[in-house]
Amino acid sequence: MFCNILGKIFTISCFGESHGKVIGCIIGGCPSNIKLSNIDVQIEVNKRKPGISKYITSRKENDKIKILSGIFNKKTTGAPIAIIIKNNDKKSRDYDNIKNIFRPGHADYTYWNKYKNIDFRGGGHSSGRLTANIVSASSITKKYLFKNYGIVFKGYVKQIGKNKILFESWDLINFKLNIANIKKKNIIKKYIKYINKIGDSCGANINLIIKNLPIGIGNPIFDKLNSRISYYLMNINAIKAINIGNGIKGIKYKGSKFNDIITKKGFKTNNSGGILGGISTGQDIKISIFIKPTSSIKIPQKSINKFNKKVKFIIKGRHDTCIGIRILSVAESMLSLVIMDFILNFNSYKI
C-alpha cells in the first residue's frame, strides 16, 4: 500500500514521467534462476507499444528496454531487477499551450492541488505511459507462472463505445483491435476512424481470464483474491469499474441460479468468476473491466487554469481514440503481478 510500490513478497517499484528521460521499475523478491534476456522483456513491452496501428496513438516510442541489474549468466540472481525504458519521441512543445490548464478528465487538477508542482508535459507522472513498467515486469511473472504452473493470462475487447463484440474464438483475436470476432472487424475499424475524425474518443469493456490457477489462491476475510485483483487493476488509469464473474448481471438472478453447483466433475457454472470466499476455486478467473473514453480529445474544450481563469483550448499531441484496446496488455500484465505475489505467499505454507 505504497504510492509507487505494489506487492508483498514480489514487489515492483515504479518511477517516471511521460516526457522525462526514462521511465523504469525495480522488481524485488524475484526468484533466482529464471532465464531472462532483453528480448524477453522487449516482446512484452512491444505488446502495449504505441504507434503500432492506425487505431491507437501515433506517438512512436521504440520503447527500447534496458535491464540494469539482477541478471547474471542470463538468469535472475534473486537480487532486484531494474528495467528502464527510454522516452525518445517526446514532443514536449505540444504541451506548451496547456501547461497551466487543467485538462478535463486528466489528473492535472488533482495533482496540482495536492502537490503544487507538476510536470505537465504529457501528463508527467500521471501518464498512462508508466504502465509500460507493468508490462516490462510481467515478462518475468508470465514466464515463471506459465513454466511452473501453466498459468495463462488472456483477454479480449468485448465492447467499444456502444458496439458489443461477441467473443467467437481465441484464435480469431485481432492484435490491432484485440477483438475475438472476425466479422466485426470492419465495423469497429470504421467506428474508431469516425470517432477519431470527429476528434473525439470512446470507451471500452474488456474481458480478462486467468487459466489454470490452482485451487486455494487468495486469503479469507482480508486480502481476498478479488480484492487484490481489483486493487491492482484500478491502478491502471482509465479503468473505472471491475466485475468479477457474473457480478453485475447476477444481481438480477435468484440465489438458486447464481450459486454454482459443484459436481464430482467440477463446477457446473462459473457465476462466481472462479473465486469463492476470496479464494480461487480452480476454475477460470473471470474479470471484466470498464475503461472510460480517452480523456485527451481534439475537440476544443473549456476549463480553468491554475490562476482560476476560464480558458478555451485544444489538446495537441497524439492520443489513442480508444485507450481500452491498448490497456488489454497492461491489464493482463497486472494480473500476472497479482498472481505472482499470491503464488509465492501460497508456497509459504509448503514445508
Restricting to residues 77-96, which ones interact with its own copies according to CB under 8 A?
A: 77-82, 84
Least distance (Å) from its own copies to the CB of residue 135?
A: 14
Q: How many residues of this chain bind its own copies (CB under 8 A)?
A: 147
Cell reading at 158: 468485448
Distance CA 126, CA 108 (A): 9
* 64 labelled ligand-binding: no
* DSSP codes, 114-170: HHS----GGGGGGSGGGHHHHHHHHHHHHHHHHHHH--EEEEEEEEETTEE-----G
Cell reading at 29: 523478491
Q: Which one, of 57, 101, 113, 107, lies nearest residue 300 by Cα?
A: 101
Least distance (Å) from its own copies to the CB of residue 224?
A: 6
- Asked whether position 235 contacts its own copies by CB under 8 A, the answer is yes
* 74 labelled ligand-binding: no
- Asked whether position 187 contacts its own copies by CB under 8 A, the answer is no
Cell reading at 245: 464473474
CA 253 to each of CA 64, 257, 267, 277, 285: distance values in angstroms, whole numbers, following the listed order? 49, 6, 18, 19, 20
Restricting to residues 275-294, which ones interact with its own copies according to CB under 8 A?
A: 275-282, 290-294
Closer by beta carbon to its own copies, 2 or else 171: 2
Choice from 57, 272, 329, 333 touching its own copies (CB under 8 A): 272
- Asked whether position 349 contacts its own copies by CB under 8 A, the answer is yes
- Span between the terminal Cα atoms of the chain, in Å: 29
Closer by beta carbon to its own copies, 162 or else 171: 162
* 37 labelled ligand-binding: no
Restricting to residues 17-76, which ones interact with its own copies according to CB under 8 A?
A: 17, 20-24, 26, 28-29, 31-33, 68-70, 72-73, 75-76
Closer by beta carbon to its own copies, 3 or else 171: 3
**Per-residue x/- mask for its own copies, residues 245 to 264, rule CB under 8 A?**
xxxx-xxxxxxxxxxxxxxx
| CB 243, CB 249: distance < 8 Å | no
Restricting to residues 307-326, which ones interact with its own copies according to CB under 8 A?
A: 308, 310, 324
Q: Which residues pair with 304 in a beta bridge?
A: 310
Restricting to residues 114-153, which ones interact with its own copies according to CB under 8 A?
A: 114-119, 124-126, 130, 148
* 106 labelled ligand-binding: no
Q: Which residues pair with 154 in a beta bridge?
A: 209
Least distance (Å) from its own copies to the CB of residue 284?
A: 15
Query: Buried (b) or exposed (e) across 142-167, using 16+ Cβ within 10 A?
Result: bbbbeeeeebbbbbbbbbbbebebee
* 277 labelled ligand-binding: yes
* 288 labelled ligand-binding: no
Known binding-site positions: 48, 125-127, 237-238, 277, 292-296, 318
